[in-house]
């Protein structure tokens, strides 16, 4: 029986079968199979078949790992999402203050009359900031201005950009009167150069110097109550 198994293994190997494929048909120890097949040469075509199968196996493994990571990310995000419920006005107020702390314009020694100005290209951040302005700070629509900053090689996307930010901010398109072009660096490392690039939107509040000072006070209040200062 061993001789028959050995012959069958050799024939399968000559056909270009891999060790794992042969072992599925001939259940012997891998060391035994290796001994039987050590003198069996393979043609170029057979070697190519084995290489292709190995690459396909590696690709399947990579896809399986990626899908597993995607599933882990999904589970973690869904659990995290479930932990955020019913944000109160106070919480939204603090969120807005923190956003402005990170991305808003602040008064400086050389410019103590800085108004409220917030700039970003993240649409979700802009949505939250606009909700903060309207719902928490009760800023009238007429007191909110908008500017768009976009790279000069995307001049053909100005109309699309205005439409995009109008939708994100829920502001009329005619509020976007000012579009500024940023000069491109020769060796830019920017990743946002594809069709989803709409530049950056700057939101300005009219006559808001004192509001900016108030926000600065809120920030100091957060620091004090966190025990940082």
pLDDT at residue 41 is higher than 80: no
Percent of the chain with pLDDT over 90: 57
- Nearest of 183, 185, 179 to residue 161 by alpha carbon: 179
- Mean pLDDT, range 80-105, rounded to an integer: 95
Main-chain phi, psi angles of 56, to 5 degrees:
-65, -40
- Mean pLDDT, range 34-59, rounded to an integer: 75
Predicted local distance difference test score (pLDDT) of residue 189 = 58
Structure tokens at 112: 């103590």
Neighbours of 153 (CB within 10 A): 14
For residues 195 and 170, the model is more confident at 170
Note the residue count of the chain: 229
Q: Looking up tokens 């909110």, which residue turns up?
A: 144
Residues 6+ apart with CB under 8 A from 97: 215, 218, 219, 222
Whole-angstrom distance between the N-terminal and C-terminal Cα of the chain? Answer: 84
CA distance 30 to 27: 9
- With bands split at pLDDT 50, 70 and 90, how would you rate the model's confidence at 109? confident
pLDDT at residue 228 is higher than 90: no
pLDDT at residue 1 is higher than 50: no
CA distance 10 to 22: 9
pTM score of the predicted model:
0.71
pLDDT tens for each residue of 63-91: 999 999 999 999 999 999 999 988 999 99
- Nearest of 211, 224, 221, 227 to residue 94 by alpha carbon: 221
User: What secondary structure does DSSP assign to 41-74, as a single string?
Assistant: ---HHHHHHHHHHHHHHHHHHHHHHHHHHHHHHH
């Amino acid at each position: 029986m061993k001789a028959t198994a050995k012959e069958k293994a050799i024939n399968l190997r000559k056909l270009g079968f891999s060790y794992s494929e042969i072992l599925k048909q001939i259940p012997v120890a891998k060391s035994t199979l290796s001994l039987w097949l050590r003198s069996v040469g393979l043609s170029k075509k057979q070697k190519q078949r084995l290489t292709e199968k190995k690459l396909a196996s590696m690709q399947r493994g990579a896809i399986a790992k990626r899908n597993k990571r995607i599933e882990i990310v999904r589970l973690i995000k869904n659990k995290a999402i479930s932990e955020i419920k019913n944000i109160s006005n106070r919480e939204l107020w603090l969120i807005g203050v923190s956003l402005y702390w990170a991305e808003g314009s602040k008064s400086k020694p050389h410019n103590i009359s800085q108004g409220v100005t917030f700039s970003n290209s993240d649409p979700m951040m802009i949505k939250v900031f606009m909700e903060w302005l309207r719902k928490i700070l009760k800023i009238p629509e007429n007191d909110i201005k908008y500017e768009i900053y976009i790279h000069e090689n995307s001049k053909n996307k100005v109309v699309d950009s205005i439409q995009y930010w109008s939708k994100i901010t829920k502001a009329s398109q005619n509020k976007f009167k000012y579009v500024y072009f940023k000069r491109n660096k020769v060796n830019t490392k920017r990743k946002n150069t594809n069709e989803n690039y709409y530049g950056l939107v700057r939101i300005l509040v009219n006559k808001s110097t004192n509001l900016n000072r108030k926000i600065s006070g809120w920030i100091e209040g957060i620091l004090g109550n966190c025990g940082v200062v």
